[in-house]
Amino acid sequence: MITAKAPCTLTPYHARTNNRTPSCSTFDHFHETQHVMPDQASPPLPEQPDDSVTHAADENIVPPTFEGGKTLFVDAADEHCYPRPSAALKYAGPDDQVFVKPGIYEDRIFVADRNIRLIGAGRDRVQIFSRRGSPLYLQRVSSGRVEGLSFRYVGSDQHSAINILDSVCTITKCRVLEGILSGVVMYGPECRPTFSENEVCYNRESGIFSFAGARPYIRQNTCFGNHHFGIAVRDDGTSPDIVRNTSRNNMLSGILLFHSANALLLDNHCHDNQHWGIVMTPDCQSSPEHEKLLDANTLGNNPRGSLIITHEPLAEIGR
């Protein structure tokens, strides 16, 4: 049981807006419950660094909110903050943001039919893990930003670390690891997220997998150590922009296009993968066209070669 010490009053966001003060409640690891924030004031912002320290270098800087919005703080070690990101998001208004302080949090974040603004103190300092499902699941998220967090799946069932269905938002500077399926799955005809500057590593299938009509913008990510491909694209109507990514040291190839997929492939660096730089089936379309991909991307130092077009890209894994 977590309770607030006097003189603090337990007042979640929705209670403040409705002038009601709920009583204390027990926090359960896997179910969202009411949580506490002091009535008097929000926790103070971290001190601003001197001019010699850049914003990017100091991961404790809390970004500004939208006009009229608030910052809801997450810190499992501070009873005056929310204990988990999902608890804070439950009470976040449309202009609010959730800031996650350094720590390791067991949580399952599910956001649907709304926006999201979830900011962490840096992917090396904040880890969100789940053993019962994807630690981050976005469904029809209309806008927003997820930044500076690591998402790790530690269960044994068929789940990814990030699951994105028909959502339009930005996910950046995060780490995604150890999904039993691909690390990140993006799917649905309305799925158009920007996925940039992330690390996607050590997932049991591919690092980033787009399918079922998704059209994400996949930019400047590093995908390495995944058991299948760094980036995979499947299905007619799926058409991501894959630009300036590094896909290295994956156990099959750097990038895969199959089952009539389309993709823009520019300035990607696929190297030191176990098989090929890029693998495609003949029914796939790329921009630039197949014969120009070698000039538009860097595909060296892959044992089997830079590019192959084949009817059986998954034969070696029995598919």
Whether 138 and 163 have beta carbons less than 8 Å apart is answered as yes
- In the chain, how many domains are there? 1
**300 in a domain, yes or no?**
yes
- Sequence-ordered list of residues with C-beta below 8 angstroms from that of 269, at least 6 positions apart, any chain: 245, 246, 247, 248, 297, 298
For residues 43 and 138, the model is more confident at 138
DSSP assignment of 105-155, as one string?
Answer: EE--EEEESS-EEEEES-TTTEEEEESSS-SEEEES--SEEEES-EEEE-S
CATH for 177: 2.160.20
Give the alpha-carbon dihedral of 186, 188, 190, 193, to 10 degrees.
0
**87 in a domain, yes or no?**
no
Distances from the Cα of 95 to the Cαs of 16, 117, 272, in angstroms? 15, 8, 44
Residue 213 backbone zone (phi > 0: left; psi -120 to 50: alpha; other: beta): left
The phi, psi pair for 89, rounded to 5°, reads -60, -30
Sign of CA dihedral 80, 47, 127, 136: positive
Give which of 284, 287, 229 is closest to 254, Cα–Cα: 229
**18 in a domain, yes or no?**
no
Given a cut of 70, whether residue 9 has pLDDT beyond it is: no
Return the bridge partners of 104, or none. 127
**65 in a domain, yes or no?**
no
What's the pLDDT tens digit per position in 213-270?
999 999 999 999 999 999 999 999 999 999 999 999 999 999 999 999 999 999 999 9
Residue 23 backbone zone (phi > 0: left; psi -120 to 50: alpha; other: beta): beta
Return the bridge partners of 98, or none. 72, 118
Give which of 146, 148, 121 is closest to 136, Cα–Cα: 146
Whether 72 and 88 have beta carbons less than 8 Å apart is answered as yes
Give which of 45, 107, 40, 36 is closest to 78, Cα–Cα: 36
Q: Radius of gyration (Cα) for the chain, nearest Å?
A: 21
Q: What is the pLDDT of residue 302?
A: 98
**54 in a domain, yes or no?**
no
In this structure, what token pair is assigned to residue 14? Answer: 């929705």
**291-301 average pLDDT score:** 96
**11 in a domain, yes or no?**
no
Calculate what percentage of the chain has a pLDDT beyond 90: 76
User: How many C-beta neighbours within 10 Å does residue 140 have?
Assistant: 15
For residues 46 and 93, the model is more confident at 93
In this structure, what token pair is assigned to residue 241? Answer: 């922009």
- Domain with 243, as residue range(s), is 102-317
For residues 37 and 179, the model is more confident at 179
Around 227, how many Cα atoms within 13 Å sit in the side-chain half-sphere? 12
pTM for the predicted model, two decimal places: 0.82
Q: What is the pLDDT of residue 25?
A: 29
What's the pLDDT tens digit per position in 72-102?
999 999 999 999 999 999 999 999 999 999 9
**91 in a domain, yes or no?**
no
**9 in a domain, yes or no?**
no
What's the pLDDT tens digit per position in 157-174?
999 999 999 999 999 999
Q: How far apart are CA 196 and CA 206, in angstroms?
A: 17
